[in-house]
A and B are shown apart, each in its own frame.
Chain A
Amino acid sequence: HGSPHSTLLEGSFDASSLLLRLYHRFRALDRNKKGYLSRVDLQQIGALAVNPLGERLAGGGGAGWEELLGEVDFPGFVRVLAHFRPVDDDDSGMRDPKQPEPLNSRMNKLRFVFQLYDLDRDGKISRHEMLQVLRLMVGVQVTEEQLESITDRTVQEADEDGDGAVSFLEFTKVRIPFSYFFFIF
């Protein structure tokens, strides 16, 4: 029943029933039963289409599965959703450093969000990239000048090494509420 996948979701709960739920969701989304999810499958989720960041999350860029060339197989699907499990409490100290970090660690959650901003994957959120995301979130409600001033201010505040962009390290210094970044499933 897919034991290599359950290592992605280790924890004290019943991994196999969770995997089953994910598998069913995967199959429900894969309308033509191709065995993988294309961007179109995700775009057809009505509730996602009305989300301002919907295009990005559906793989238009940055949500972590565009590397798969627009096709998400089941392990890929699980890998992305695994980011949204609650942070394990013993995440900080007790882990064996040789093991790869669990996907739902604070760092990996941050990386997930960072990649929503950083489209070209150069490890930095440039001013231009931030403008793009802001534009998605406000639509036509805000003028270009206002957006630019907001962007400049934000980048200035977060930028520590003065390169005019927000690197991942600088991003991690932003206070992020990890308790918000999960859903129960």
Chain B
Amino acid sequence: MFLLLPFDSLIVNLLGISLTVLFTLLLVFIIVPAIFGVSFGIRKLYMKTLLKIFAWATLRMERGAKEKNHQLYKPYTNGIIAKDPTSLEEEIKEIRRSGSSKALDNTPEFELSDIFYFCRKGMETIMDDEVTKRFSAEELESWNLLSRTNYNFQYISLRLTVLWGLGVLIRYCFLLPLRIALAFTGISLLVVGTTVVGYLPNGRFKEFLSKHVHLMCYRICVRALTAIITYHDRENRPRNGGICVANHTSPIDVIILASDGYYAMVGQVHGGLMGVIQRAMVKACPHVWFERSEVKDRHLVFLLLISEVKDQKKSHFTLFCVLGTCINNTSVMMFKKGSFEIGATVYPVAIKYDPQFGDAFWNSSKYGMVTYLLRMMTSWAIVCSVWYLPPMTRETDEDAVQFANRVKSAIARQGGLVDLLWDGGLKREKVKDTFKEEQQKLYSKMIVGNHEDRSRS
């Protein structure tokens, strides 16, 4: 007992010192650059090193698989169905030829076996189709040392397991506490900062401070997630007096965009911690948070805001609206429509995540918010690219829906995202029916012939 006391205090002292050192390091290397918007390039270096390690890990697994004479499962390799392009007519003729023994002439007729063509073509699409293939964001070419993305467990050698274990240690014991500390700092600074700024009288100074408080805290949050963001075409960055529209695939989008520009946001009211943050933010900057039930009220506020935005001299911020599949309710629809109707300049932004280092997709039915954040914070990093597209305005002969579709397709094209933003727009219906009709026309010719043939016989 006696001996323990001095020993105890020694340990306590050591702990205290190491914590202080850790905190100072934190401050110097992470928060200070965040305040000034400067980067040391540490994250990029980290990313490069990780890539090399991942490539090595995949090689080891391939070697392990070869030893057992198996094929490593690699998604993204050429499609599943072996296809040679032939027309509907040729294929149905082929079916009839191999089925029936009678000589084929060109008289139009129907065979029971014709249905095989449509049946097989249809089942092929269930098995493999171009559009859905691109959305399996979780499948990677090389393993990223996270057990959640590995499909070839049986090929892991001892060395790989050790490496994986080391990875787990680093991620959970070093990166996670660091990130939580950063997130905590960022969020509390945001809440405190915006509340303080809120007490100031409205004016240039308040806006200046608000802008910098917002930017600083979002930058800290970006570092809390170790988000490595590559911005493209920064000259097209949204300017004051416009509306920024982005494709929305994860809750992190907001943090990523807001760390590079000062936005007034439109969004749904949340409870809990998010609610606290929202209430604080709105004191310093006129964000619009709406509840589903209050839509009408808020819509008015929104319209007022937008008209302010249009008046370039008055507004000092860009309105940020999210387009997308994350939230899907009528009130959001109203705001989305509103943003295209009012005729302000729209600045489209495309965001694309690289799933190699961490998957930013939030499956809200499977994971709650906290679980999602934890998964984010225990991945290696979140890597994404942001493209600022040139601004668009509504043409005089376009209506709001067409304008919206034009913006959407520009975003989809840039991000290499196919069909992502289709949410039941008019255009898609038309395309679908035309294709179907074409096939029906071709087939009808085969069973009843053309109009001319019929009138002749």
Contact = CB atoms under 8 A, between A and B. Distances in A.
A25 B136 CA distance: 9
B95 interface: yes
A175 B99 CA distance: 5
Interface of B: 70-71, 73, 75, 80-82, 94-95, 98-101, 109-116, 118-133, 135-136, 139, 151, 363, 365-366, 419, 432, 435-437, 439-441, 443-444, 447-448
B121 to A, nearest CB: 6
Given A50-B432, A52-B118, A176 B113 contact: yes
B446 to A, nearest CB: 10
Contacts of A29: 126, 132
Interface string A118-133: 0000000000000001
B75 A24 contact: yes
Nearest to A37: B126
A53 B113 contact: no
A80 to B, nearest CB: 8
B115 A183 contact: no
Contacts of A174: 99, 111-113
Contacts of A107: none
Contact of A81 (B123, B151, B444): B123
B110 A154 contact: yes
B295 to A, nearest CB: 25
A148 to B, nearest CB: 12
B341 to A, nearest CB: 28
A51 B112 contact: no
Contacts of A112: 119
A47 B129 contact: yes
A181 B120 CA distance: 7
A120 B364 CA distance: 39
B365 A33 contact: yes
Tell me whether chain A's interface is mostly helix, strand or loop, or mixed. helix
A146 B80 CA distance: 39
Contacts of B119: 53, 57, 112-113, 116
Interface string A28-67: 1100111000000010011111111110010000000000
A137 B122 CA distance: 13
B126 A50 contact: no
Tell me whether chain B's interface is mostly helix, strand or loop, or mixed. helix
A139 interface: yes
Given A17-B73, A28-B135, A146-B448, A175 B122 contact: no
Most buried by B among A17, A28, A116, A153: A28
A158 B419 CA distance: 45
Given A137-B440, A175-B100, 16 more contacts: A24-B136, A28-B132, A28-B133, A32-B365, A33-B365, A45-B126, A51-B121, A52-B439, A54-B436, A113-B119, A117-B115, A139-B436, A150-B109, A176-B113, A177-B94, A185-B80
Contacts of A20: 73, 151
A46 B135 CA distance: 14
B96 to A, nearest CB: 8
A154 to B, nearest CB: 6
Contact of A179 (B80, B98, B139): B98
19 contacts: A28-B136, A33-B365, A33-B366, A45-B125, A45-B132, A48-B129, A54-B122, A57-B122, A57-B126, A81-B126, A112-B119, A116-B115, A137-B114, A138-B444, A175-B113, A177-B113, A180-B98, A183-B81, A185-B81
Given A17-B70, A20-B73, A142 B432 contact: no
Contacts of A95: none
Q: Which 3 residue pairs spanning A and B have beta carbons closest together?
A: A139-B440, A141-B444, A177-B98
Contact of B447 (A27, A84, A138): A138
